[in-house]
Amino acid sequence: MNIFEGLQAAVNVHPLFVHFPIALLMIAGVLFIVCYFMDLPELRAAAKWNLILGSLSAIAAAVTGFIAANSLPHNQEIHEAMLMHRNIMVPATLLSLALGGCLFFKKDLSLIHKQKVFLAGLILILGLLAVGADYGGKMVFKYGAGTELFKKLNAEEGVGHKHVD
């Protein structure tokens, strides 16, 4: 029996990292929204660590994303979706690091999480992640980026387009 056949077919490791920031940052956002309206210290602590871990995992996703973008064979349609994906995910990563950093270095969490600018930043991250991930999905599920089928078509039709910019 051949295990990890899916992993062996992957053309890069970006898909292994992308779901951590999406899940952790989205959970952080939802929990902080709940904590804005209710005084729940334990939930606030959970939200804080989801945000910090989510922002760290976003670094790994972004780094592997750049590696993927520079090595993945792609056509013009994938190229355009990739640029949009990058242009959304880089600010989402930086913003999550800024908010995660605030929480990590500032001891009194109760002062930060009630601020409207903090909540607005979180909601912005959620929006960016949703739209940016959709561009990622578009590359893979609509245009077949990184799949065996795309490689086959690419070889047959020569739709090559190998750089990012």
3-state secondary structure of 159: coil
d(CA 125, CA 29) in angstroms, rounded, equals 8
User: Which one among 89, 99, 122, 125 touches ligand HEM, defined by CB under 6 A?
Assistant: 89
| C-alpha separations of 140 from 91, 109, 121, 150 in Å | 22, 39, 28, 10
- The minimum distance between CB 104 and ligand HEM, in angstroms, equals 18
29 in contact with ligand HEM (CB under 6 A): no
75 in contact with ligand HEM (CB under 6 A): no
22 in contact with ligand HEM (CB under 6 A): yes
H runs (alpha helix) in 38-165: 41-71, 76-105, 109-112, 116-137, 148-157
Handedness of CA 44, 49, 52, 57 (dihedral sign): negative
137 in contact with ligand HEM (CB under 6 A): yes
Closest CB to ligand HEM among residues 44, 136:
136
- The minimum distance between CB 123 and ligand HEM, in angstroms, equals 17
d(CA 165, CA 157) in angstroms, rounded, equals 22
68 in contact with ligand HEM (CB under 6 A): yes
Judged by the rule CB under 6 A, the positions of this chain that interact with ligand HEM are: 12, 14-15, 18, 21-22, 58, 61-62, 65-66, 68-69, 72, 82, 85-86, 89-90, 92-93, 133, 136-137, 139-140, 145-146
